[in-house]
């Protein structure tokens, strides 16, 4: 996955149906990224969801993976 974010952390949504990964949000604070995910995907975070939302650092390391239904 190419790194498109300019800040310390990027939030990427991987749509498994279209097999596309898109940058949705970025911030220099990890906790802010997690709060944005909680608000944006409220009610859709699930252990069984098909799509994924990932928080990625500038080196490309995935720090969090959440499944989205």
Pair 43, 56: CB distance under 8 Å: no
pTM score of the predicted model: 0.89
Distance CA 14, CA 12 (A): 6
Provide the pLDDT for residue 1.
65
Give the tens place of pLDDT for each residue, 2-58.
788 999 999 999 988 888 999 999 999 999 999 999 999 998 888 887 899 999 999
Give me the residue spans of the domains in the chain.
9-68
């Amino acid at each position: 996955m190419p790194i498109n974010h300019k800040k310390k952390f990027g939030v990427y949504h991987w749509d498994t149906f279209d097999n596309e990964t898109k940058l949705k949000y970025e911030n220099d604070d990890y906790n802010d990224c997690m709060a944005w995910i909680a608000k944006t995907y409220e009610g859709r975070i699930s252990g069984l969801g098909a799509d994924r939302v990932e928080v990625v650092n500038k080196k490309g390391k995935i720090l969090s993976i959440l499944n989205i239904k």
